[in-house]
């Protein structure tokens, strides 16, 4: 009985938001792990560092849809999914794909990995003290969060995914068109 109530409540919530319902219907494969929020969630401000230790902010991406990926050089699933994030950026240039190396990640290690994996379209950004990751309740890696143009979280996927799959591109295109 409890399970039925949870299913009915979830269906009600999804049905209450037509954009969420439309996007939910497009999820296939890895995208089935994508949790869509009924209401956008504010994210904390945090200082990120680029490869030259320059201070950067997610505010720089306001006005664009963002695929924010928390990863680390030592994380095998993170390394596996990074090329698909790079291909997604190339395939959907109106979207900002923003990987953030969380915790201890040496710039040289990131550069070496990007070179080995032939990552060409993505920026090097770091969250060395895990300030942003902690503020967004990222408990493990990888975690990918979709941000709307106002910089609010609208969806979250825990674990790795093929971000350049047809399903991922359809989900992202629907979000961009509907929100």
Sheet holding 143-147, edge to edge: 34-41, 153-158, 143-147, 66-71, 96-102, 125-127, 48-50, 55-56
H-helix or E-strand spanning residue 166 = helix 166-178
Q: Which CATH class is domain 2-178?
A: alpha beta
pTM: 0.88
**Residue ranges of domains in the chain:** 2-178
User: What percent of the chain has a predicted confidence (pLDDT) above 70?
Assistant: 88
Summarised one tens digit per residue, pLDDT across range 49-93 is 999 999 999 999 999 999 999 999 999 999 999 999 999 999 999
In terms of DSSP H, where are the helices of 17-156? 18-26, 76-91, 107-116, 131-135
Paired tokens of 54: 């320059």
How far apart CA 61 and CA 65 sit, in angstroms, is 8
At 28 the pLDDT is 84
């Amino acid at each position: 009985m409890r399970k039925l109530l949870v299913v009915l409540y979830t269906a009600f919530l999804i049905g209450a938001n037509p954009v969420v319902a439309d996007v939910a219907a497009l999820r296939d494969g890895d995208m089935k792990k994508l949790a869509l929020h009924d209401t956008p969630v504010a994210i904390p401000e945090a200082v990120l560092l680029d490869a030259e230790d320059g201070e950067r902010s997610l505010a720089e991406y306001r006005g664009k849809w963002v695929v924010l990926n928390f990863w680390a050089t030592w994380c095998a699933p993170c390394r596996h999914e990074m090329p698909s994030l790079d291909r997604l950026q190339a395939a959907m240039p109106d979207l900002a794909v923003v990987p953030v190396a969380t915790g201890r990640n040496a710039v040289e290690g990131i550069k070496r990995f990007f070179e080995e994996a032939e990552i060409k379209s993505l920026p090097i950004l770091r969250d060395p003290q895990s300030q942003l990751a902690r503020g967004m309740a990222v408990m493990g890696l990888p975690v990918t969060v979709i941000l709307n143009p106002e910089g609010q979280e609208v969806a979250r996927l825990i674990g790795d995914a093929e971000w350049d799959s047809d399903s991922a591109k359809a989900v992202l295109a629907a979000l961009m068109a509907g929100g």
